Amino acid sequence: MIAAAKQSLNVMLSRPAIPAYSQLSNVLQQNLQQVLQNQATPEAAMQAATKGAERLR
């Protein structure tokens, strides 16, 4: 188990240190969910996520 943890630590990335990370994560999750449920195309979801991210600035 310790060997697996050491290997994982080499490839892990921390979350971005930005004040609105929580809100940005929600925007991305909601749009990804729409794609997975065939409620939006990937392109439309990314456009919506971009607009949502811009509103957080």
* pTM metric for this prediction: 0.72
Domain membership of residue 54 (yes or no) is yes
DSSP letters spanning 11-57: T--PPP--TTHHHHHHHHHHHHHHHHTTSS-HHHHHHHHHHHHHHT-
Q: Is residue 27 part of a domain?
A: yes
5 is a domain residue:
no
How many structural domains compose the chain? 1
Q: Give me the domain span that covers residue 30.
A: 20-57
pLDDT digits (tens, 9 = 90+) for 1-57: 688 888 888 888 888 888 999 999 999 999 999 999 999 999 999 999 999 999 998
